[in-house]
């Protein structure tokens, strides 16, 4: 029996509303449909397997997650035209949607959960929906292709569990954009109430450790920025751009050398807090 959750909570968690309050507003305005039926009570509870749609003013993507990849594509020289992609932690499919809208010819949408990927994507012939799939145990043989590009937006697990599995799966010239989430990387003693990490010093520490871990797994760091939107509960998150063949000359102008990490990280964390702390 699937566990039940409040509709406003699920709407927010699936990225269909930017906040719990906004989720309530959408529902009370009659813009939210559960399995095709309009629901106008934010406190109504449903199994987590239901399909939820927001039919009000359309977001650019099926969820706000697409805005994270959109920012990465603006900040970094990511080109997806004609590429085969992989969306790790696909959930509703915001990243998948953004990939397709930017020219990806095929996307492997992978998530440990099920029933979350938007119907529009589930029925798109360019999308390979891989539900109930724990990426940590995936091998190159499980896919028909070696993806050129991968995104990773996962929760309740460290990237140190993801990158070792991703490296052999992506193509030899493959790239990744990963969300660094301090709340899932920092030690428990550094995570505050409701799972929020507010201390910029902890953010710097987490990013430093994550960049070193990525290099240990064979990647070069070719970009770092902050996510344009906060995670659930208000956590600031960061975008890390990785290249498998990062020593290639095309990355010479953007590659981040380890000795530059501290200076670069401090600058990005300060910019994130300056922009999002208001």
pLDDT of amino acid 237: 95
- The DSSP H or E segment spanning 273 is helix 261-276
Vertex 82 angle, CA 85 and 87, to 5° = 15
Write out 204-238 in H/E/C secondary structure: HHHHHHHHHHHHHCCCEEEEEEECCCCCHHHCCCE
- End-to-end CA distance of the chain: give it in Å, rounded: 41
Q: What does the pLDDT read at residue 186?
A: 76
State the Cα–Cα distance between residues 23 and 13, nearest whole angstrom: 10
pLDDT of residue 195: 76
The domain ranges of the chain are 4-54, 65-276
Given this model, what pLDDT does residue 194 score?
74
| pLDDT for residue 12 | 85
3-class DSSP state of 63: coil
| DSSP codes of every residue in 125-170 | TTEEEE-S--GGG--GGGSSS--SEEEE--SSS-GGGTHHHHHHHS
Q: Residue 2: its pLDDT value, please?
A: 67
Half-sphere exposure of 240 (CA within 13 A, CB side): 28
In CATH terms, the superfamily for domain 4-54 is RNA-binding S4 domain (3.10.290.10)
| Reported CATH class of domain 65-276 | alpha beta
pLDDT of residue 211: 97
For the chain, which ranges sit under pLDDT 70? 1-2, 18-19, 57-58, 192, 277-278
Q: Read off the pLDDT of residues 154-169 as tens digits, 9 standing for 90 and up.
A: 988 999 999 999 999 9
pLDDT at 21: 72
């Amino acid at each position: 029996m699937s566990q039940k959750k409040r509709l406003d909570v699920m709407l927010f968690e699936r990225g269909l509303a930017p906040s719990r309050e906004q989720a309530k507003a959408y529902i009370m305005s009659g813009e939210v449909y559960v399995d095709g039926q309009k629901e106008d009570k934010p406190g109504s509870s449903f199994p987590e397997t239901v399909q939820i749609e927001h039919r009000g003013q359309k977001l650019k993507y099926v969820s706000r997650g697409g805005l994270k990849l959109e920012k990465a594509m603006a900040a970094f020289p990511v080109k997806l035209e004609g590429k085969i992609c992989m969306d790790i932690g696909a959930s509703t499919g915001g990243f998948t949607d953004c990939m397709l809208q930017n020219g990806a010819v095929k996307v492997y949408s992978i998530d440990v959960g099920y029933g979350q990927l938007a119907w529009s994507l589930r029925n798109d012939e360019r999308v390979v929906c891989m539900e109930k799939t724990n990426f940590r145990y995936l091998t190159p043989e499980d896919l028909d292709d070696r993806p050129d590009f991968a995104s990773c937006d996962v929760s309740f697990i460290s990237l140190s569990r993801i990158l070792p599995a991703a490296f052999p799966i992506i193509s030899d010239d493959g790239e990744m954009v990963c969300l660094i989430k301090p709340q899932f990387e920092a030690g428990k003693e550094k995570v505050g109430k409701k799972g929020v990490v507010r201390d910029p010093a902890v953010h710097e520490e987490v990013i430093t450790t994550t960049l070193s871990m990525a290099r240990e797994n064979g990647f070069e760091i070719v970009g770092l920025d902050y996510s344009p939107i906060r995670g659930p509960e208000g956590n600031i998150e960061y975008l890390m751009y990785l290249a498998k063949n990062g020593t290639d000359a095309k990355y010479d102008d953007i590659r981040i050398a380890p000795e530059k990490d501290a200076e670069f990280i401090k600058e990005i964390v300060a910019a994130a807090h300056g922009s999002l702390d208001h």
